[in-house]
Chains A and B, each alone.
Chain A
Amino acid sequence: MIKIWSMKKNEEAAAKKKPKTSAAQIRVQKDLTELDLPPTMTTHFPVPTDLLNFTLTITPDEGMYQGGAFVFSFAINTNYPHDPPKVKCTQKIYHPNVDLEGNVCLNILREDWKPVLNLNSVMVGLQYLFLEPNADDPLNKEAAEELRKNREQFLYNVKQSMRGGHIKGMPFDKVTV
């Protein structure tokens, strides 16, 4: 018998323990309380006791999307940080890397996610999409096509969509502040 068992048997049951904080929970606490965000990004917790579900609002202060407020939902599961957070855009926006369902094409949200990344990296990554929309990884093909072919027209479409206008008959959500 290995040594630990040669000791006295079941002398007294271990003191009843409280439910311990899970590794995912501690990690989320750490990520959130150490967020280092520029003034262009703010988090909102609909239920402040629930750290696993919240929104991030990005208000770019430069670039083509300046003047808009873009809201993303974050859903973190108990297998974080092994699993990345699930992030969706809650508005219908005109953006080459965000589709009309709110899916976001950001590598670190899927294929390049690693547990060493954190919520801060994801948020900074999201903001970058508004500063440098990327026509090479399109989710909204028409928007990407427009950005590549006719930058002026694309910019016009962005402004139009942000005001809640239609692009080629498709209505978009008003996101201007």
Chain B
Amino acid sequence: MAAVDVQRVNGTSHVGDWPDRYYHVDQVLDRPGPRTDPSFMAGDGVKDFLRNQCKILVIGAGGLGCEILADLALSGFKDIHVIDMDTIDISNLNRQFLFRPKDVGKPKATVAAEYVMKRVPGTKVTPYYGKIQDKDDDYYMQFNLVICGLDSVEARRWINATLVNLVDPENPESLKPLIDGGTEGFKGQARVILPTVTSCYECSLDMLNKPTAFPICTIANTPRLPEHCIEWASVLEWPRVQGDKKMDTDDPEHIQWLYNIASARAKEFKIEGVTWQLTQGVVKNIIPAIASTNAIIAASCCNEAFKIATSSAAYLNNYFMLIGTDGVYSYTFEHEKRSDCPVCGGESLEVSVPRSWTVERLIEMLVEKQDIQIKKPSLSTATAQIYFQAPKQLEEVTRPNLEKLVSDLVPDGGDITVTASSLPFSLSLRITYV
């Protein structure tokens, strides 16, 4: 940090910067406050980091994403990347304010990036139109921070597990704070996850509300609600009539077909309220989005990003929830790490074995090992089963592996996942050979 160009630090050499551009933000960065972290270095160093070095990834350019991008750019983050796999739909325009009617059909990430760069000079926003799963560890490694504004549990689980696995104890740079925002109607949450250090997303998976599902017999026999008719069309009639054809909830023709079937069903049972929009809402599990909830949650997320990037104030530890259904209620608490979390919990063990060891010998060693106390372990690598104790068929299929050398099945430094009923969840073995 020693030889920093003062000009650069003040930002004056940047395209689009003007005197006092950061006047208000600098109030926070120029001097420590009563609650700043002891490591906070007020002044040019922190400003240089925020404006010239910090690279932040935004996942999702939808309702939350648009707000997040604007907030980050305006608070002085200058190197922002954004990923989104969606294109703009006309129904997004009421709240996703970076998009205009002419943008309908274009990728959200690209349009959002261009808009922010146009409105906030000097900010570089790099879009990627695609899935987060397209990118590898090296890609995620380049960022200092990741902020998510997602609407899917699956995507959150994926990025959470990816960032947890990225952590290399030898390399502090590999720990990427993850800030996750989420909204559902008038309710929202923001959380700070320091992978492997604090509770991760998977730790709290069982806190999630399950999506509304109706008993299949009600759908089939005694529908009372328009939703029952729509589920009848999508769950029972689609597979019956369309066979193996996959339902695409983004295809208007598919929605139309479901709508027609559901309407006929509704008529038969004298149920009112089946509309095209409701049909789409039920099959896509759409929860009405409220622009102000998104704004609050995005602001909270970006506030955390700013505090973490600058250490100018204590960051959220680690869960903030907002309930706006009756007035405005919020509560902050620390969600604890789960020792049996399948992603960040569980034991990890480095074992060093002779190249001459068979799988059977390795299992013997695990069973004998006093400190782990495993009974009947089942072993696999990320891509193949090594030995399964049950079911019978899999035991028989994997039994020949018992005679094989571990070194023929697992590379040096490779991982083996061990499960056993005596383990809370699983044990990860890192194998090295002697």
Contact = CB atoms under 8 A, between A and B. Distances in A.
Interface of A: 1-23, 25-27, 29-30, 32-35, 37, 42-45, 48-49, 51, 78-79, 82, 97, 99, 101, 103-105, 107, 109-111, 113-116, 137-139, 141
Contact of A12 (B49, B165, B171): B171
Interface pairs A-B: 9 shortest CB-CB:
A33-B378, A14-B168, A23-B342, A137-B217, A30-B419, A7-B172, A105-B217, A48-B397, A111-B213
A81 B205 CA distance: 9
Given A5-B49, A13-B141, A138-B217, 13 more contacts: A1-B46, A5-B172, A12-B171, A15-B168, A15-B413, A18-B411, A21-B382, A27-B342, A48-B393, A49-B384, A78-B154, A82-B208, A104-B216
Q: Is the interface of A mostly helix, strand, loop or mixed?
A: loop
A139 B216 contact: yes
Contacts of A51: 385
B71 to A, nearest CB: 19
Contacts of B173: 4-5, 7, 9-11
Contacts of A12: 171
Contacts of A33: 376, 378, 388-391, 394, 419-420
B171 A1 contact: no
Given A110-B216, A139-B217, A26 B154 contact: no
B114 interface: no
A91 B137 CA distance: 45
Contacts of B214: 110-111
B419 A2 contact: no
11 contacts: A1-B46, A2-B308, A5-B49, A11-B171, A23-B202, A23-B342, A33-B378, A43-B391, A101-B239, A116-B206, A137-B215
Contacts, number: 175
Contacts of A103: 216, 220, 235-236
Interface string B152-165: 01100100010001
Contact of B415 (A4, A20, A22, A139): A20
Contact of A79 (B153, B309, B380): B153
B391 A35 contact: yes
B277 interface: no
Q: Is the interface of B mostly helix, strand, loop or mixed?
A: mixed
A110 B213 contact: yes
B177 A2 contact: yes
Given A20-B165, A26-B417, A48-B397, A14 B213 contact: no
Interface of B: 37, 39, 41, 45-46, 49, 137-138, 141, 144, 153-154, 157, 161, 165-166, 168, 170-175, 177, 202, 205-206, 208, 210, 213-217, 220-221, 235-236, 239-240, 308-311, 315, 342-343, 376, 378, 380-385, 388-394, 397, 411, 413-415, 417, 419-421, 425-426
B238 to A, nearest CB: 11
A4 B171 CA distance: 9
B221 A141 contact: yes
A51 B390 CA distance: 12
B318 to A, nearest CB: 14
A30 B425 contact: yes
Contact of B157 (A34, A42, A79, A113): A79
A52 to B, nearest CB: 13
A42 B392 contact: yes
Contacts of A137: 215, 217
Given A18-B415, A116-B206, A79 B236 contact: no
Contact of A1 (B49, B389, B390, B391): B49
B206 A115 contact: yes
Of A5, A7, A48, A115, the most chain B CB neighbours within 10 A belong to: A5
Contacts of B235: 103
Contacts of B411: 18
Nearest to B380: A29
A101 B216 CA distance: 13
Given A82-B208, A105-B216, A137-B215, A14 B221 contact: no
Contact of A114 (B45, B210, B311, B389): B210
A26 B236 contact: no
A30 B315 CA distance: 37
Of A4, A7, A45, A105, the most chain B CB neighbours within 10 A belong to: A4
